[in-house]
Amino acid sequence: MARKDRLKNRKELSRTRVSYASSERVAGESGVVIKDWGGRLPLAVAYPNSYYVGMSNLGLHTLYRLINNYPQYLAERFFWEGGAAKGRPTLSVESRRPFTDYVAVLFTLSYELDFLNIPSMLADCGMPLYARERDETFPLVIGGGACIMSNPAPAADFFDVFCIGEAEAILPELLPVLAETAGEPKGLVLERLAKIPGLYVPSVPPEKPVERVFPAELTQGAGTAVFSKATELGEMYLMEVERGCGHQCRFCLVAGVFCPLRYHPLELLLKQAEEGMLERKRIGLVGPVVSDHPQATELISRLRGMGVGLSISSLRIKPLPEKMLGELALSGVSSLAMAPEAGSERLRRIIRKGITEDDIIRAAALVAEKGFRQLKFYFMLGLPGETDEDIEEMIKLAEKAQQVMSAAGRGVRLSLNIAPFVPKPSTPFQWLGMEDAVLVKRRLDIIRLRLEGQGIEVRAESPEMSQIQAVLSRGDVSLSKLLAAAGGDSLACWKRAAKLLEVDSPSLAKTRFDLADKLPWHMLENPKQRQRLEAEYKAATKEI
Ligand code: SF4
């Protein structure tokens, strides 16, 4: 398409917003920022999943808040609108404009399967999918978030720039360059962006691995910026308590992409909570292991004193201070989630979970004693080295926890949330493949059969969708063709595209890399981190 036609197309797309104009969403929100477009650099903040899912994502709120804090920039939100919007441009929540009205589109990606929604979000706005086919008349497409920080390769053909790091560290460098270079030839803009620490520009390959950037301390707070009831956690004010994790379980991405471990200061959290309470009576404490915050018990106790209800995203089984559990119970928390991850001591050792069966049973007993109504255990299936005996041990462990809780006579319910193990880049298990989905499903059926009859609810993620997640998690740049051909986020779309392109998706998920292989995310491999991952991998595989 000629440049003139593209510009005409953009004008037509802009006009379509009139027919969609609706402020229903904004009317149901508070905290939304509506800025005058005059003299400001417009930026689209996009979440490639539904409004319901995306509005409970703190990364999106943080990006929106940080950009809008600057008077010279404006950020508006976009969500994937699914089948309802098929063929129509996705429009911003705030002003109902398409992507093509903005200088840049900043996608935040926390979950691999959301990659599947990016092609349709771009195409429906009349944007060529592939970065090389877009010139400066189109907005720059920029990606960030946990998936991008671990492996941007599967979507590298769609994006102009990737952010390898945290928004607080990247935006102060990125935004002024976007403002200065708006409208300049795209090649020159990308050359400039490639020089900024933490930015990876696929068309300007870096000479050495891109270093992840992050603030040394958390000083600004991170919480819900826009309140809406139409989202999963809409009844709460979400507040990040910490970032990173000190435990380094071998399967987990957190240590690889969010380290070092940093805590938000107690006084800042309390001040933030006061502001959040103006909107919500309940606060959700968010972090990889909230109970690890050195002042977690005091925080919970003081929040309780402020009369606020609490919810907590994660507790570690050990250490699990009894006093903190007591404070949580008094704060009205009724349900707790903990993650044994594996049923046997051997498997927990392989994954470096650092907890024993005694720790798990003690935690279950404490939960019952303190009067909580529900305990959720998170487990994984298909972990490296897993056998049928490990499944038997998982079942016995759940039964034992149930017995201990029943003995307390408080009627506390146990449920299991089971996810197939998906190997992730930037973890010691990055070289390993996913277990066969058929075997995972068979083991899942056994667990269900044995536990559901005993009143233990078993919820599980689909092994087949997890297999797609595994392909995307460690995939290379060739996957962009598959993503483009899929045209949707369902299993059927994926299977159809894989058949069309003759891609053996189950085999890709099971790929085992050699230590000598060049990994698809090699451009992000930090030598020091690589050394640690290799040492951990070798230690784990000795036991498999
Ligand atoms: S699984 Fe939990 S405890 Fe282990 S490294 Fe990840 S966040 Fe930390």
CA angle 478, 46, 265 (to 5 degrees): 110
Residue 282, beta-bridge partner list: 309
Contact (Cβ atoms closer than 8 angstroms) between residue 59 and residue 165: no
How many whole angstroms separate alpha carbon 363 and alpha carbon 68?
A: 43
- Residue 323, C-beta contacts closer than 8 angstroms, at least 6 positions apart: 297
Residue 538's alpha-carbon distances to 90, 383, 425, in angstroms, are: 47, 16, 16
pTM of the predicted model, to two decimals?
0.94
Sign of the dihedral through C-alpha 268, 51, 171, 70:
negative
Spatial CA neighbour of 379 closest among 432, 322, 457, 470: 457
Mark out the alpha helices in 3-74 (DSSP H runs).
3-20, 24-27, 51-54, 58-68
**248: Cβ below 6 Å to ligand 1?**
yes
470 CA to centre of ligand 1 in angstroms: 19
* H or E element, residue 255: helix 254-258
Residue type, 171: L
**CA 18 to ligand 1 centroid distance, Å:** 47
Q: Among 51-65, 67-81, 87-101, 416-430, which stretch is predicted with the lowest mean pLDDT?
A: 87-101
What integer is the mean pLDDT of 64-70? 98
Tokens of 385: 């080295």
**Residue in 317, 311, 296, 312 with CA at minimum distance from that of residue 378:** 317
Q: Which atom of ligand 1 is nearest to the CA of 314?
A: 2
Contact 376, 341 (CB under 8 A): no
pLDDT at 244: 97
Residue 488 confidence (pLDDT): 86
The pLDDT assigned to 145 comes to 98
What is residue 22's predicted lDDT score, i.e. its pLDDT?
Answer: 46
Measured between alpha carbons, how far is 185 from 207 in angstroms, rounded to an integer?
A: 23
CB 266 within 8 A of CB 298: yes
Q: State both tokens at 502.
A: 């003759």
**Alpha helices (runs of H) in 28-163, residue ranges in sequence order:** 51-54, 58-68, 118-123, 146-150
Token pair 């959290």 in the structure block, residue: 269
Higher pLDDT, 226 or 2: 226
Q: Is 245 in the pocket of ligand 1 (CB under 6 A)?
A: yes
Is pLDDT at 321 greater than 80 in this prediction?
Answer: yes
What residue type is 231 in one-letter code? T
Q: Fill in the DSSP letter of residue 55.
A: T
Supply 236's token pair: 């709460």
CA angle 93, 182, 59 (to 5 degrees): 40
Is the separation of the CB atoms in 46 and 121 below 8 Å? Answer: yes
Cα of 23 vs centre of ligand 1, distance in Å, is 40
**Direct distance between the N- and C-terminal alpha carbons of the chain, in angstroms, rounded to an integer:** 55
Say yes or no: CB of residue 288 within 6 Å of ligand 1. Answer: yes
Give the residue-averaged pLDDT of 171-200.
Answer: 98
Phi, psi of 103 (to 5 degrees): -80, -35
Please give the C-alpha separations between residue 93 and each of 69, 75, 347, in angstroms, as whole numbers.
Answer: 18, 11, 46
Cβ atoms 238, 286 nearer than 8 A = yes
Higher pLDDT pick, 20 / 293: 293
Q: Flag whether pLDDT at 351 surpasses 90.
A: yes
Give yes or no for residue 255 CB within 6 A of ligand 1: yes
CB 239 within 8 A of CB 276: yes
Average confidence (pLDDT) over 21-50 = 90
At residue 81, the pLDDT reads 86
Query: How far is it between the farthest Cα atoms of the chain?
Result: 75
Site to probe by mutation for ligand 1, drawn from 248, 290, 348 as the one with most ligand atoms within 8 Å of Cβ, is 248
**Ligand 1: nearest atom to the Cα of 245:** 8
Query: For 424, which DSSP code?
Result: -
Cα 44 to chain center, whole Å? 19
Q: Which of 1-15, 106-120, 418-432 has the lowest mean pLDDT?
A: 1-15
Which residues, in sequence order, are CB contacts of 398 under 8 Å at separation 6+?
343, 377, 414, 416, 451, 456
Q: Is the pLDDT of residue 4 over 80?
A: no
CB 160 within 8 A of CB 141: yes
Q: How far is the CA of 244 from the centre of ligand 1 (A)?
A: 9
Pocket lining: 315 vs ligand 1, CB cutoff 6 Å: no
Q: What is the pLDDT of residues 367-408, one digit of tens each?
A: 999 999 999 999 999 999 999 999 999 999 999 999 999 999
Q: Look at residues 237, 264, 306, 279 and name the one whose alpha carbon lies nearest to residue 56.
A: 237
Residue 352 alpha carbon to ligand 1 centre in Å:
10
Q: Examine the pLDDT at 21 and tell me if it is beyond 50.
A: no
User: CATH second-level architecture of 3-200?
Assistant: 3-Layer(aba) Sandwich (3.40)
For the chain, the average pLDDT equals: 94
Average pLDDT over residues 284-295: 95
Q: Whose CA is nearest to atom 4 of ligand 1?
A: 249
The pLDDT of residue 525 is above 60: yes
Q: What pLDDT does residue 83 have?
A: 60
Ligand 1 lined by 252 (C-beta under 6 Å): yes
Mutate which of 240, 251, 289, 426 for ligand 1? The one with the most ligand atoms within 8 Å of its CB, which is: 289
Is residue 470 within 8 A of residue 411, CB to CB? The reply is: no
Q: What is the pLDDT of residue 237?
A: 98
Atom 6 of ligand 1: nearest residue by CA position = 252
Q: 50 alpha carbon to ligand 1 midpoint, in Å? A: 27
Kindly calculate the radius of gyration of the chain based on its CA atoms and give it in whole angstroms.
24
The amino acid sitting at 180 is E
CB crowding 156-167: b at 16 or more within 10 Å, else e: bbbbbbbbbbbb
pLDDT for 5 beyond 60: no
For 197-216, b where at least 16 C-beta lie within 10 A, e where not — what string? Answer: ebbbbbeeeeeebbebbbee
CA 380 – ligand 1 centroid, Å? 13
CA 131 vs CA 107, 139, 197: distances in Å: 14, 10, 21
- Does the C-beta of 289 come closer than 6 Å to ligand 1? yes
Contact predicate 76/90, CB 8 Å: no
At residue 314, the pLDDT reads: 78
Evaluate if residue 2 carries a pLDDT over 50: no
pLDDT digits (tens, 9 = 90+) for 108-131: 999 999 999 999 999 999 999 999
Q: What region, left, alpha or beta, does residue 200 occupy, with left being phi > 0 and alpha being psi -120 to 50 degrees?
A: beta
Q: Where are the beta strands (DSSP E) in 220-373?
A: 227-228, 237-240, 242-243, 262-263, 282-286, 309-312, 335-341
pLDDT of 86 over the 90 cut: no
Residue 3 has pLDDT above 80, yes or no: no
How far apart (Å, rounded) are the C-alpha atoms in residues 461 and 419? 5
Question: What's the pLDDT score for residue 23?
Answer: 60
Note whether 243 and 167 are within 8 A (CB): no
* Residue 538 scores a pLDDT above 60: yes
- DSSP conformation letters of 441-461: HHHHHHHHHHHGGGT-EEEE-
